[in-house]
Amino acid sequence: MTSAQPSPAWIANKQVLITGATSGIGRAAALELASRGAQLNVIARDQAKARALADEIAQISNSTSVRFFHADLADLDEVRTVAKTIGSELGPIDILVNNAGVAARWPRVTTEGRDEMLTANYLGPFVLTHLLLDQVLAASPARIVITGSEAHRMTGPFDAERFEHLGQYSGLAAQLAYGRTKLLDILFADELAARLAGTGVTVNSFCPGLVSTGLTRDVPGADRLGRLLSATPLIRTPKQGARMLIHLAADAEVDGVTGRFWTSTPGLGLLPAVAARRHPAVAERVYRRTCDLVGIKELTA
């Protein structure tokens, strides 16, 4: 569910760092958070879009503190570099929002030899979160919000020992591969919430619903089709899809709530958790293997 009574005063002057804020639900959320007085910090790979966002924020907010950091989350070297920059230039982070993502129609490989979608959607945010965790802990009570998807229910067979091998995909297989990256995000949120219990830092994941965004930029005509469908009940606008993100990031009533997956799709919240989420050992194993894959020191619970 979403907040019936937003609490704009709670978010005022809090440091928010958000990825994927130059388009889609991230952009809609950034504009709303800025209008509520948040001190906005954005990681973006497209500087032109970042400047356009800054111009629009300037029109709706008196805040002059919006800051941009350049990085592509599909490049782990850039993720490490931007985390170091943020560490030296930004103080405690009250709200970290891992929102950036891509739904690839076919596999591409990064310079490190990893699947690009897996890296952008999961490995990059995983590394970024760990490298900024001291700054988040310094702001405690603080929040980490991770954009997941109901697509996590459609992954095909899931093997915690081989989750990083998405293989070749297109068509339906691409949907399953995307769903796996979202399942990994949600498992990460679950495990991180458990490991941060008692620190004052909460971790939640959510699904924004089926939203017309630039997520499927590999599909010719997808943006135009999405805009058309947004005028129907089938697909939400980015502003509608951002409501749950804003709720989890900015509303006082979710203080202390952690380790939950929130869905914006009516009725789906009644469904049981998928098998991988019903067994905490799966999330723990995925977490440890991911730490090994990307060279991150495991956070001790």
Torsion of CA 115, 121, 225, 221, to 10 degrees: -30
Q: How far apart are CA 238 and CA 274, in angstroms?
A: 26
Q: How far apart are CA 242 and CA 192, in angstroms?
A: 23
Q: How many CB atoms lie within 10 A of CB 85?
A: 14
What Rg value do the Cα atoms of the chain yield, rounded? Answer: 18
Token digits for 227?
């805009």
Q: How many CB atoms lie within 10 A of CB 214?
A: 17
**Residues in CB range of 165: below 8 A, 6 or more apart:** none
Q: Which of 122, 169, 178, 287 is catalytic?
A: 178
Residue with tokens 């009725």: 267
- Give the HSE-up count for residue 16: Cα atoms under 13 Å, Cβ half-sphere: 33
H or E element: which one contains 283?
helix 280-294
Token digits for 59?
């029109």
Q: How far apart are CA 15 and CA 142, in angstroms?
A: 10
Is 178 catalytic? The answer is: yes
| Selection from 152, 106, 98, 157 nearest residue 128 by Cα | 98
Query: Which residues carry out catalysis?
Result: 178
